[in-house]
Amino acid sequence: MKLNRGVALVGAGMTKFGRHADLSSRELFVEALNKTSASVDRNFDRKMIQALFLGNFTSDLFEHQGHTAPLMADWAGLCPAPATRVEGACASGGLAFRMGVLAIASGLYDVVGVGGYEKMTGLPTPAATDALACASDTSYEGIPGATFPGLYAMMAVAHMRKYGTKWDMLAKISLKNHRNGSINPLAQFNKSIEDIAKGKGFTDVMQFLNDPKSNPVVAWPLRLFDCSPISDGAAAAILVAEEKAKEFTDTPVYITGTGQGSASMGLHDREEFTTLPSAMEASRQAYKMAGVSPKEIQIAEVHDCFTIAELIATEDLGFFQRGEGGKAAAEGRTAREGDRPINTSGGLKCKGHPVGASGVGQIVEHFEQLRGTAGGRQIPDVELSLTHNVGGSGATAVVHIFSTKKP
Ligand code: COA
């Protein structure tokens, strides 16, 4: 199935992800939208935005503020344009982007703003963990005490049992994402793990990662450096009808594939813990729409809320055979110098994971990579890329494919 009308990305921008003690999510969103507006090459005025789709998981719990879409429109000076909040846990941003794509493809709008925001660090870690747990099947998981680190730890154990995956392979994913994030000025952690280890007196980075004080177990076998952090941040993007794209830039990025899938909320209802059926379905739809195979995708931003999630994503998306994701990561195939660079931005692990913003943050990275403006992280000659954004432990997944070429 193709879109009825083509859609192009002409602007994208984000705040730094991290701890923003003095800023609320509305201020973060306005900053992201200002940067996004400035990123459009020409002829753009934000008053052209006809509708807004905004991803946010739960500012209700994090900031005691609901009904946030019109709030953002108001603070951005965009009322009375319709503003709709889209919620799909950590996939909220990716879903908001998809709603923007579909709204233009429907013919209703020509210029749409999409965004995502979350302000998480106002709560102490146990309360933030509790708020996040609302994105699990609370009756069967959250209330009995399973946190997200706990749920992904179960997936890691299952992958280890089934395929012989080793924790060292997960550590390689974290090392790689921190190396990428260390050269991303908007990442929460601007340091490689090698540099963090050196700063704490370790000469051998694996000794640092194996040290229980430096890298404590959060939910076995996942340790601190296997987890994405708790973050604040916002990201935004401007979508336009394909036939209008050249009014705004000579180098639009085309959305050639979009897909979304759902799966059971609770892990207990899944036959397998080593794959996300929602991501399989979302990628199947997106590949079919774009008319491409996994082999052709040059780079991908995948949802690495935990290192095991990146490993499983690279298998679900068809980049590597089942059970081979860990080996591929350990061999450096997913590094910037490898044959399939993954998470050049630093990923959720190092760039940060303000949950409602993360899916749009992934798209900001690819807007830059496909236009050749990603600085030290730039992968040469990127023409085709993919983003993969997951909600909860995989009840929701959304995949987008981007191209420099008109479909
Ligand atoms: N990776 C690496 N370092 C981290 C980190 C992470 N994920 N989170 C915090 N740190 C560092 C901090 O920078 C700080 O370092 P410093 O002592 O050198 O300044 C130190 O660890 C302690 O930070 P703090 O904020 O007190 O950590 P915490 O113990 O309260 O929280 C986690 C750590 C891993 C429990 C928390 O980040 C977490 O819950 N992450 C998962 C979030 C999640 O589930 N998201 C949804 C996914 S579906």
Closest CA to 117 of 158, 85, 145, 156: 85
Q: Report pTM.
A: 0.98
Nearest protein Cα to ligand 1, atom 47: 305
In this prediction, residue 407 carries a pLDDT of 86
For helices 307-316 and 167-181, angle between their N-to-C axes, nearest 10 degrees: 100
Per the listing, tokens 């409602």 go with 356
Rounded average pLDDT per 10-residue block, the chain, 407 residues: 95 98 98 98 98 98 98 98 98 98 98 98 98 96 94 98 98 98 97 98 98 98 98 99 98 98 95 97 98 98 98 98 98 98 98 98 98 98 98 98 95
**Omega before 185 within 30 of 0, i.e. cis:** no
Long-range contacts of 376-383 (CB under 8 A, 24+ apart): 376/183, 377/180, 377/183, 377/184, 377/336, 377/344, 377/345, 379/298, 379/299, 379/336, 379/341, 379/344, 382/298, 382/299, 383/298
In this prediction, residue 362 carries a pLDDT of 98
**Tokens matching residue 325:** 């994701």
The DSSP line for 38-97 is: HHS-SS--GGG--EEEEE-S-HHHHHS---HHHHHHHHTT-TTS-EEEE-BTBTHHHHHH
First and final C-alpha spacing in the chain: 13
Atom of ligand 1 nearest to the CA of 393: 48
Closest CA to 265 of 389, 135, 133, 94: 135
CA distance 27 to 8: 27
In this prediction, residue 389 carries a pLDDT of 98
pLDDT digits (tens, 9 = 90+) for 187-237: 999 999 999 999 999 999 999 999 999 999 999 999 999 999 999 999 999
Per the listing, tokens 């990442």 go with 187
CA distance 203 to 327: 25
Nearest protein Cα to ligand 1, atom 40: 229
In this prediction, residue 343 carries a pLDDT of 98
Contact residues of ligand 1, CB 6 A cut-off: 90, 125, 129, 132, 148-149, 218, 224-225, 227-230, 305, 353
CA distance 374 to 383: 14
Atom of ligand 1 nearest to the CA of 129: 39
User: What are φ and ψ of residue 10, in 5° steps?
Assistant: -120, -5
pLDDT digits (tens, 9 = 90+) for 298-355: 999 999 999 999 999 999 999 999 999 999 999 999 999 999 999 999 999 999 999 9
Question: What is the biggest distance separating any 2 CA atoms in the chain, rounded to whole angstroms?
Answer: 59
